[in-house]
Amino acid sequence: KLLEEWDDPVLEPWEVTRGSDHRARWRCRECGWSFHTNVKDRTKSKHPTGCAACAGKVPTETHNLALACEESGGRL
């Protein structure tokens, strides 16, 4: 599952360990967002990092302040 998101141009998954500080590039299999984070942060057992776009933490074409204002009918 995690290997499906590996999109790093520098190293291959077999060249790092799960505790590596290497800041790899990943591509979310759900939304296609490309992001960088340390390998060890994606593989830790408690609260591993995931896609910030799916979590609503970065603006995207389908999740941003302008759309939220439009969808709220001007309440924001």
Cα separation, 60 vs 44, whole angstroms: 26
pLDDT score of 21: 97
pLDDT band at 76 (very low <50, low <70, confident <90, very high): confident
pLDDT of 74 > 90? The answer is: no
User: What letter represents residue 48's amino acid?
Assistant: P
Element (H, E) at 43: helix 39-43
pLDDT score of 43: 94
pLDDT of 75 > 90? The answer is: no
DSSP state, residue 16:
S
Prediction pTM value: 0.79
Tens digits of residue pLDDT in 18-62: 999 999 999 999 999 999 999 999 999 898 899 999 898 999 888
